Amino acid sequence: MINYIIRRLIAVPLLLIGVTILIFLMLMALTPVERTALYVRDVPRNDRVLEGIIKKYGLDDPWYKQYWRWLFGTTITTTEDGVTTVENIGGILRGDFGYSRTASQPVGELLARRFPASLELALYAVIPVIAGGIFLGVVGAVKHNKPLDHIVRIFGIVGWSFPDFVFGLLLLMAFYAGTGWFPPGRISDWANQIVTSPAFHNYTKLISIDALLNLRFDIFFDSLRHMVLPVISLAYLWWALTLRVTRSSMLETLRQDYITTARAKGLAERTVINKHALPNALMPVVTLGGNTVVGLLSGVVIIETVFNYPGMGAAAARAASQLDVITVLSFVLFNGLILVLANVVVDVLYAYIDPRVRLD
């Protein structure tokens, strides 16, 4: 098991390097003037000044030199009027992703400010995806070709084929425009004034968790009220996929010889399902888990826009609408890094569930 984990961890740096090279090649498709946003906040219109900036930051150097500078950063020493200035620039490994024109702040600060909101949304969405998807998938397989199975299949097909933004708009019309129960946004104005005050301690930047830690149950329930509709919209698609994968895997497992043997021994059906069939049927679901995490984080682009939720997705959508390429590619890079790390975790979990994988 340890050797298997070590082999997977050794592959992580290579995968991360591949992701960074791919994103950087996309950056190289931009002109040197457009790439100045990686190092300066305001791009000057004067051609002479622009040429000086391009030379200063080496934006006309070979791509591998620019990649090294973009990855690790560099130090530039300039002397003007007898004054020597030392400037540390670039380096995504140091959290410098460039400057966001749409947010008017460095991309690293934008990610740090917006990521907790998206993470909180995704964490709450994982609960119905995992619990509901697996449970209904198992129920559908056990009740194969019975009325309950047909109902589960219909829900799965509709959920997988129904656009999430349309589903979100329908929920808004039904539960906000019609009743006002679940408003858009992250929290109410009165709660936001408390959360941003010095008296409120932001331990995790996740408002619902921090509200509990601050013993502010009113803010906790207010944040949950705002998350109900986006969580349902975000989870519905992946819940339907998890349901379908679980049901198919469970049906195949129930046809195996060892399940027939377990039943022939007189074991209770509950024991056959829970102790013999379910652990083996969950292997494809675990593999799907890594993509589910990344899919939930990626899916917030549309859901956060629909529900006016101030997370990473809403910032990425705004940057894309205003052609802020530096910000958009930084979000792509961030999601790529999460995908690599999530797949490593899934590989380790898969080996833990199925010991045969460790011997490959």
For the chain, the farthest-separated pair of C-alpha atoms sits apart, in whole angstroms, at 92
In tens, the pLDDT along 191-210 reads: 999 999 998 999 999 999 99
In tens, the pLDDT along 149-191 reads: 888 888 888 877 778 788 888 888 888 887 888 998 899 999 9
The pTM of the full predicted model, rounded to 2 decimals, is: 0.82
- Does residue 46 register a pLDDT over 80? no
- Does residue 219 register a pLDDT over 90? yes
Going through the chain in order, the beta strands assigned E by DSSP cover: 74-80, 83-89, 99-100, 105-106
What is the rounded distance in angstroms from the CA atom of residue 207 to the CA atom of residue 219?
8
Strand, coil or helix: 268: coil
Specify whether the CB–CB gap between 27 and 70 falls below 8 A: yes
- What ranges do the domains of the chain cover? 31-96, 102-359
- Does residue 261 register a pLDDT over 60? yes
What is the rounded distance in angstroms from the CA atom of residue 197 to the CA atom of residue 111?
22
- Does residue 347 register a pLDDT over 80? no
Supply the DSSP symbol for 59.
T
pLDDT confidence bin for 86, thresholds 50/70/90: low
What is the rounded distance in angstroms from the CA atom of residue 232 to the CA atom of residue 237?
9
- Does residue 214 register a pLDDT over 90? yes
Confidence (pLDDT) at 352: 72
Residue 216 backbone dihedrals phi, psi, to 5 degrees: -105, 85
What is the rounded distance in angstroms from the CA atom of residue 32 to the CA atom of residue 57?
10
Chain centre to alpha carbon of residue 37: 25
Its CATH architecture, for the domain 102-359, is: Orthogonal Bundle (1.10)
